[in-house]
């Protein structure tokens, strides 16, 4: 059964409790990204975890292997269950992060998700980065390398998820942002899919922000998305 993760894209720790109270028991998972983590630090992670919620810490780590490994160990102490790192950090960095995760106590072992190519990049940007492959081939190559190196899964757009499902091990986590229920605003997301399509194509976790946070009744919006995921 795929899981729904709400992107806690709010500017300050003070903005978190109203979201948690509006969504209540409907939502069990929250993604904390760079904005909220820079504003609220580890305390904000602890407060969301303390409310009984599961945490996806989306800091997209990219540094030398030792530094990333130590960040994984520190995040695990915050009871983070999912966290991101850039596949472009390479095999040694991912392997060091995976080893750090394995060394954590079993009930505090974060799963590592590799970010392949940022969805803000386009084919034309690849030349500037010295990459000769097409975008789909680059995404597939980085995802495969990341899983071989010890990552548990990848973050991918709904457009990529079907192909990655066939290429990666069957237990790979495929975490998909860019999800928009039919008839809702896409905002700045260009490559979107409905919750039903994302799950059908193989997503294990759907990350949804604005369609829930900006809805007149956020809990009802989340329930509708969950119903579509399960249908």
Q: In angstroms, rounded to a whole number, what is the distance separating the alpha carbons of residues 68 and 71? A: 5
Residue 103 Cβ vs ligand C5P, minimum distance, rounded to whole Å: 27
Q: Tokens for 231?
A: 């249908």
Contacts of 40 (CB under 8 A, 6+ apart): 12, 13, 16, 47
Q: Looking at beta carbons only, is 110 or 158 nearer to ligand C5P?
A: 158
**Binders of ligand C5P among 105-144, rule CB under 6 A?**
119
Among 57, 87, 161, 207, binds ligand C5P (CB under 6 A): 207
Q: In angstroms, rounded to a whole number, what is the distance separating the alpha carbons of residues 181 and 197? A: 10
- Give how far Cα 39 sits from Cα of 16, 75, 208, Å: 12, 16, 21
State the catalytic residues: 60
Binding mask 61-100 for ligand C5P (x = CB under 6 A): ----------------------------------------
Q: Looking at beta carbons only, is 55 or 65 nearer to ligand C5P?
A: 55
210 scored as a contact of ligand C5P (CB under 6 A):
yes
Give one DSSP letter per residue of 199-218, joined into a string.
Answer: HHTT-SEEEE-HHHHTSSSH
3 state DSSP class of 58:
strand
Residue 106 Cβ vs ligand C5P, minimum distance, rounded to whole Å: 28
Return the range that interacts with ligand C5P (CB under 6 A); candidates 69-77, 131-139, 202-210, 218-226: 202-210
Contacts of 18 (CB under 8 A, 6+ apart): none
Among 78, 113, 155, 199, binds ligand C5P (CB under 6 A): 155
**Binders of ligand C5P among 16-55, rule CB under 6 A?**
33
Q: In angstroms, rounded to a whole number, what is the distance separating the alpha carbons of residues 125 and 122? A: 5
Residues near ligand C5P, by CB under 6 A: 7, 9, 33, 119, 155, 177-178, 187, 189, 207-211
């Amino acid at each position: 059964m795929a899981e729904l993760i709400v992107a806690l894209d709010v500017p300050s720790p003070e903005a978190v409790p109203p979201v948690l109270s509006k969504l209540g028991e409907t939502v069990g998972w929250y993604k904390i990204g760079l904005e909220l983590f820079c504003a609220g630090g580890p305390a904000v992670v602890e407060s969301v975890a303390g409310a009984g919620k599961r945490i996806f810490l989306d800091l997209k780590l990219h540094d030398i292997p030792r530094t990333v490994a130590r960040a994984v160990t520190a995040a695990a102490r915050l009871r983070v269950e999912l966290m991101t790192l850039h596949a472009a950090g390479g095999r040694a960095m991912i392997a060091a992060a995976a080893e750090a995760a394995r060394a954590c106590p079993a009930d505090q072992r974060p799963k590592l998700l590799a970010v392949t190519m940022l969805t803000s990049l386009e084919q034309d940007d690849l030349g500037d980065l010295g990459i000769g492959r097409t975008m789909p081939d680059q995404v597939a190559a980085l995802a495969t390398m990341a899983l071989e190196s010890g990552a548990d899964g990848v973050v991918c757009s709904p457009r990529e998820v079907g192909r990655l499902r066939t290429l990666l091990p069957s237990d790979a986590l495929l975490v998909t942002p860019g999800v928009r229920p039919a008839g809702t605003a896409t905002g700045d997301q260009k490559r979107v899919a409905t919750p039903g399509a994302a799950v059908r194509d193989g997503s294990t976790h759907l990350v949804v922000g604005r369609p829930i946070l900006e809805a007149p009744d956020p809990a009802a919006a989340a329930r509708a998305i969950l119903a579509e995921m399960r249908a």
